[in-house]
Structure formats: structure tokens, C-alpha cells
Amino acid sequence: MAHSGIDVLTAGSNFSRLLGGLWVTIKIALIAIIIGLIIGVLLGILRTLPNRPLRFILRLYLEFFRIVPTVVLLFLFYYILPKEFNVNLPADAVATLVFALWVAAEMTDIVRGALESVPQHQKEAGQAIGLTYWQLQRYVLIPQAWPLCLPATVNLMTRVVKTTSLLMLISVMDVINIGQQIIEANNKTAPNGVFWIYGIIFIFYFMINYPLSRWAKHLNKRRLEANH
């Protein structure tokens, strides 16, 4: 079995180190998604207000995070925040921050689109019974927009999980970084270890993203069915 290199997975504390890395990955993705969702929903509602300067600023925010590649954002925040603003954040925190801002930016568009696709008549029917702006959002618009948001939101989550593979570039000890370290440490003794390490990482990512992607498909189907 020495040739296959599969022992690399079990040798020493390798496997638990990989799991530790996976946990870092999941933690960053999860916190970023939760914070991003909350900020994104609020800002997404604001984007439906007829306030031009506000719309413009929020649009700019979205486009910035859309246009600039995530790697660049990570470097930007990792190297420039400490230098220019004297804010020293650990790499994990920088990664969480960047991902949360990215999720929030994308969410604003998902939420805005969903809210705007609720028929105007619904809004007027709500106004006609005297609902205030926030009551209208809460009882009429958001509950109807929510099912429209869900598939795109779950898709966004899978993108976030996938993009966490960039975290090693700013030295976050995520599952890929740990895997890379194990590979390098065992390069001499187990040259085929790379296959097994990335194989297990593949399985980890698959186990997270496959259910998410199935869920998104299911939600989408249900939404289409509900429309008929």
C-alpha cells in the first residue's frame, strides 16, 4: 500500500487537521452568509425606495463587488486595511468580512428583484387598508418575495462555499491550505498523497454543495409549480 499513498490521510493527526481546516472553511462561509443575508435583505429593501442617490450608492456597492474578482477583494482587504487604516484583523476575520460584504451585495439584487416582481396591485391593496411602509413590507411584500428569493439565495451559498477555496491565498488555515501543507510535508514519502488529499477535499466540498444545489433545484421547481 505504500505506493498508493492513501496512508497520508490517516498518518499522524492528518485527518483531524483536515477536519479542522474544513471547520474553518464552514465557519467562515456560514458566518459570512448569515451576516450577508441580514445586511443584504435590509439594503435590498432600501433599493426599492424611490430615492435616487441612495439607489445609486447601493448600485455602486453591488457593481463593485460584482466586477472586482474575489481574490482581489481578499488581497485588498488583507493588505490594504492594515496599511492604510491601521486595522489589524486576523486573516479569518478579513475573509469573513469580505465574504459577508460580497454576499450582502449579491443579496441586495436578489431581494430587490424579488420585491419588484410582486405585482404593483398587491402593494396598492396593502396601502388601501392603511398599512404603513414597513407593515406593507412585512405582511405583504416580503412574504411574497421570499419564495422568489430562495433559489437564487441557495445558489449564492454554493458559490460562497466554492469560493472559500481562495482563502489559502491570504493564509487562512482552511481545508485546502491544510491539505497543501500535508501534501508538501509528505512529498518525499508519499508522492501520490496529492491525489488522496484533493480527493477527500473534493468529497468534503461535494458533501456541502450537492445538497445545497439539490435544494435550490427543488425550490425552483416548487416555485414554478406554484405559479401554475
Partner 1 sequence: MSTPLLHVNHLEKYYQKTHILHDVNFELNTGEVLTLLGPSGSGKSTLLRCLNGLEAYQQGSITFDGQAVTQKPKQWQQLRQQIGMVFQSYDLFPNRNVLENILLGPLKVQKRTRAAVLPEVQQLLEQVGMADYANAYPRQLSGGQKQRIAIVRALALKPKLMLFDEVTASLDPEMVRDVLNIIRQLADSHAMTMLVVTHEMDFAKQISDQVLFLADGRIREQTPGKQFFEQPQTERAQNFLASMDF
Which residues would be at the binding site for partner 1 (CB under 8 A)?
A: 121-122, 124-133, 135, 139-140, 143-144
Assigned C-alpha cell, 206: 461535494
The nearest distance, CB 107 to partner 1, in angstroms, is 21
User: Alpha-carbon torsion 145, 147, 151, 157, what sign?
Assistant: positive
Residue 122 or 189: which CB sits closer to partner 1?
122
The nearest distance, CB 130 to partner 1, in angstroms, is 4
Residue 100 or 150: which CB sits closer to partner 1?
150
The nearest distance, CB 176 to partner 1, in angstroms, is 42
The H or E element containing residue 5 is: none
Residue 4 or 122: which CB sits closer to partner 1?
122
The nearest distance, CB 222 to partner 1, in angstroms, is 14
Residue 140 or 152: which CB sits closer to partner 1?
140
Residue 63 or 124: which CB sits closer to partner 1?
124
3 state DSSP class of 89:
coil
CA distance 178 to 131: 54
Q: What angle do CA 134, 56, 41 make, to 5 degrees?
A: 40
The nearest distance, CB 155 to partner 1, in angstroms, is 23
Give me the helices (H) in the chain, please: 7-10, 14-46, 52-67, 70-75, 81-85, 91-116, 120-128, 133-135, 142-163, 175-185, 193-226
Residue 104 or 141: which CB sits closer to partner 1?
141
Torsion angle of C-alpha atoms 7, 10, 11, 12, degrees rounded to 10:
180
CA distance 90 to 78: 9
The nearest distance, CB 167 to partner 1, in angstroms, is 39
CA distance 79 to 74: 8
N-terminal to C-terminal alpha carbon distance within the chain? 58
User: Alpha-carbon torsion 69, 71, 62, 224, what sign?
Assistant: positive
